[in-house]
Amino acid sequence: MLNIEHTDDVVRFRIRVQPRASKNEVSGVYQDMLKLRLTAPPVDGEANKACVEFFANRLSVPKKNVKLVAGFKGRTKTLEIKGVSAADIRGLTE
């Protein structure tokens, strides 16, 4: 089950990133995290930038509302997104 923390107007959740995938997509839930496939390589922060852009575009929020708060160099990352609900995040898996 996906673990999402919701406080005020910010949601916080963890993702598992698979870089160098064939396309950018949410491919389901891995343990308690959202599984995200990205075409970007894990070099020079490119996958991190692609992650922020992906969620901003998919959830229709500005990039400044999507914040990577942990996991800058690993596959497991923690994101905070302002202006969306936990239901919006869960809806990404459908």
Each domain of the chain, given as residue ranges in start order, spans: 4-93
Q: What is the value of pTM for the model shown?
A: 0.93
Distance CA 93, CA 15 (A): 12
The two structure tokens encoding residue 6: 């919701």
- Confidence class for position 64, pLDDT limits 50, 70, 90: very high
Cα–Cα dist 4/24, whole Å: 21
Please give the Cα distance from 92 to 48 (Å, whole number): 18
Task: Mention every residue, 6+ apart, whose C-beta is less than 8 A from residue 44.
Answer: none
pLDDT digits (tens, 9 = 90+) for 34-46: 999 999 999 999 9
Q: Domain 4-93's class?
A: alpha beta
Sign, CA torsion 78/20/94/28: negative
